[in-house]
Structure 1
């Protein structure tokens, strides 16, 4: 699967025009950071970042970030991309957009998994702080925080594609994990996409958690998939122990089993985009290896 085609072409001239029209006091040099699945990012000067949807379906996700990140940031000890300015649709650009602080650091996906141990304590604290009951008007996400079994069709299709190694072993494991009892607690706030490319590292520690486009509420097992997405076996044990220390009985054995299932779901998903996103394909291979290592 290739990255979806943009619904609108975003270039430096368009971004500069938006800033000049709506936030002229912030006008400055722009540097393209990248075109993701849903958004285009430009660095603005030294200290700011412009995040613009490249597809219509991502526009609501930007609104979710603008609405909820200022609320959540106050309870988090790790920096997150709270908008410092918001942009509104115009005649030449039809969706909301944001300006956030530029966060220094490199993605954890650039580090070999065995060098990510310095993230254990920080990421555990981030998740323990985030995973609290969400209000009734929290964003809904049809593919995150939902019952694990709802992803079965998508997982089966990936495993049948011929692109996923160890497909039969993974299907056997999936068929067992989807029988684990579901989340019985209240919907908790979730990041929704806790892979290592969304974790920024500086001096070996977690410097920021970015990309809250999948922000939602539901089963925390979705976020706990990071134990397999980010870490190796030793650091995964340490991560789980840290979370258990901070959260008490929030995460029981069934939650961790579902988290392994979520890791399998996410790992197989990113492997389908190897040509387009080789870094993420590496995350997928690591994740599949990790979920199969455990008994």
Structure 2
């Protein structure tokens, strides 16, 4: 939709309001609803061009819109919006330490409103070229190449200094079992979680992206072109990455996983599968504190006979054993 249709007289006076979560979700990708707000933001930063089309980003927790070569993301309404904005802003600061990381770069920022309770902060970043893995129609050989490209990129991300972002120390109040009950894991596996996590060794903390799923990995000409949505960045165990990378992006394909591991020079240990499974459980719990829904195991019922898998250790080996 063309932003030029909105002149100065259409400038928003009040921040957007929503009465229910359902209403927020309904309008979160609605360009007609957000057009006046985005136009106002772009004009403030000197980025408005009359011939550009506003396109909604799809599937995000917060409203995101593509406008020419830039992306505008707003934060508000949902309970953790302040923390989400803080994390994504801190991620941009960290990413500036390594310009070889294929990530959007911060161009501008500000607040939509001077309402202290509902300021709706925004970030404007560069737009990544290419299309998402989901829409790229990659051949299997191209998928292997992108998996290797991702491995090299994540090695760079994991080497970033873990400063200014959340850490797993912030998880003290998380209820992993309650979160798992909201996932696709069957009850007999959920009941084993306490004992399973008790056998987990010390964390190997690094900076992780945390949400490498099919909408966030961009490709062009069969190779990785960018990684978007850094709002889940956290300093935690490196195996936390696999909850989305392997169970979502790679669709549990171990050949793709091997390509990633080899390219990243991953420090493999004999308990790799146990660590990856344990961190997937933590990712499920942490995800529910960040987003209004989360099920990192959503693909498994169509891939495995979960009711026939006796233990979490057995499931870990099915999913992650290399």
What TM-score range do you get, normalising by the shorter chain?
0.7 to 0.9
Please say if 1:126 is aligned against 2:157.
no
Distance 1:184 1:269 in 2: 16
Larger radius of gyration: 2
Distance 2:58 2:219 in 1: 21
Please say if 1:158 is aligned against 2:182.
yes
- The equivalent residue for 2:303 is 289
TM-score computed with the length of structure 1 as normaliser: 0.73
Which one of the candidate residues 221, 224, 228 is aligned to 1:206?
224
- The equivalent residue for 2:262 is 241
Distance 1:222 1:288 in 2: 23
**Secondary structure, in 3 states, of the residue corresponding to 1:189?**
strand
Change (3 A) 1:80 1:90: same
Distance 1:169 1:241 in 2: 34
Distance 2:216 2:201 in 1: 26
TM-score computed with the length of structure 2 as normaliser: 0.68
- The equivalent residue for 1:257 is 274
**Secondary structure, in 3 states, of the residue corresponding to 1:188?**
strand
Distance 2:108 2:301 in 1: 36
Is the contact made by 2:75 and 2:81 (CA closer than 8 Å) also made in structure 1?
A: yes
Q: What's the offset of the Cα at 1:6?
A: 2.7
Change (3 A) 1:3 1:99: same
Which one of the candidate residues 216, 228, 246 is aligned to 1:227?
246
- The equivalent residue for 1:47 is 69
Is the contact made by 1:200 and 1:209 (CA closer than 8 Å) also made in structure 2?
A: yes
Please say if 1:16 is aligned against 2:30.
no
Please say if 1:183 is aligned against 2:206.
no
- The equivalent residue for 1:107 is 132
Change (3 A) 1:175 1:202: farther
Is the contact made by 1:16 and 1:27 (CA closer than 8 Å) also made in structure 2?
A: no
Change (3 A) 1:117 1:282: farther
Q: What's the offset of the Cα at 1:150?
A: 5.1
Number of matched pairs: 271
Please say if 1:67 is aligned against 2:90.
yes
Distance 2:94 2:214 in 1: 24
Is the contact made by 1:108 and 1:199 (CA closer than 8 Å) also made in structure 2?
A: yes
Distance 2:21 2:169 in 1: 20
Deviation track 1:224-277 (CA, whole Å, cap 9, x = no partner) reads 33233322122222222333xx35x3x53435422234446768999xxxxx99
Change (3 A) 1:228 1:173: farther
**Secondary structure, in 3 states, of the residue corresponding to 2:200?**
coil
Q: Which runs of 5+ in 2 are unaligned?
A: 1-19, 305-314
Is the contact made by 2:176 and 2:281 (CA closer than 8 Å) also made in structure 1?
A: no
Is the contact made by 1:38 and 1:55 (CA closer than 8 Å) also made in structure 2?
A: no
Deviation track 1:169-216 (CA, whole Å, cap 9, x = no partner) reads 75478567524423344x311112122221112122111111111111
CA RMSD after TM alignment: 4.0
Q: Give the stretch that moved more between structures: 201-210 or 5-14.
A: 5-14
- The equivalent residue for 1:273 is none
Distance 2:284 2:112 in 1: 35
Is the contact made by 1:69 and 1:82 (CA closer than 8 Å) also made in structure 2?
A: yes
Change (3 A) 1:218 1:262: closer
